[in-house]
Structure 1
Amino acid sequence: MLWSGVIIGAISFLIIGIFHPVVIYCEYYFTDRVWPIFLTGGLIFCVLSLFVHQIILSAALAVIGFAMLWSIVELKEQTKRVRKGWFPENPNRAKK
């Protein structure tokens, strides 16, 4: 019996779940201008996954990389949600 698929699925579920509050936190404290950090990190993790020979670790690195890349889109969407009033805006941030 191979458990690799189930383990990779659980790791993916955990990573995606972790990135939801990370996006909210980053938008609240740093705005969506932190997207280059997510781009750089996402590319680094995706490239690292290509050089790891252990399948579960390689898959986990790739999932982290793609979750970081997807977080760029979610940062922009989170900014829209804040403007609509669905999430609180940071009161310490200067208004434009």
Structure 2
Amino acid sequence: MDWLATLHFEGIVIGICTFLIIGLFHPIVVKAEYYWGTRCWWWFLLLGIAGIIGSVLIGDILISTLLGVFSFSSFWTIKEIFEQRERVLKGWFPMNPKRKHEYESRS
């Protein structure tokens, strides 16, 4: 990874990877809410905590930064899971027919 430092591409690589990580989390939010509802929020909490621990323990600035981005994207996903439920209730996204009772009892 020293060649990245030599060419000063770290910022560009971090930017591209951040874009991809955030972009990856959108369909994950939609699918997670569809299949498991809001009860999967703690998975993202654990992923976020693991990402923070990894970011602190890894000395390479590129990997550490990307773990930090991943970690806080996981934390943001917790909020998005609950907002996704609201979007489903508004009819903007499909409701999982196997979990229809969960939407009816909480709305």
Q: TM-score range by the shorter chain?
A: over 0.9
Matches within 5 A, 1:56-95: 56-95=62-101
Structure showing greater radius of gyration is 2
Segments of 5+ residues of structure 2 without an aligned counterpart are 1-6
- Tell me which protein shows more helix as a share of its residues: 2
Q: Give how far 1:94 is off.
A: 4.2
Q: Give how far 1:92 is off.
A: 1.2
Q: Give the TM-score of the pair, scaled to structure 2.
A: 0.86
Segments of 5+ residues of structure 1 without an aligned counterpart are none
Q: What is the count of residue pairs matched by the alignment?
A: 96
Q: After superposition, what is the alpha-carbon deviation per residue over 1:23-71, rounded to whole angstroms, capped at 9, x for unaligned?
A: 0000000001111111111011012101111111111111111000000
Distance in 2 (CA, whole Å) between partners of 1:91 and 1:30 is 12
Aligned-pair identity in percent equals 43
Distance in 1 (CA, whole Å) between partners of 2:91 and 2:100 is 17
Matches within 5 A, 1:22-37: 22-37=28-43
Match of 1:46 in 2: 52
> How much is the aligned-residue C-alpha RMSD, in angstroms?
0.9
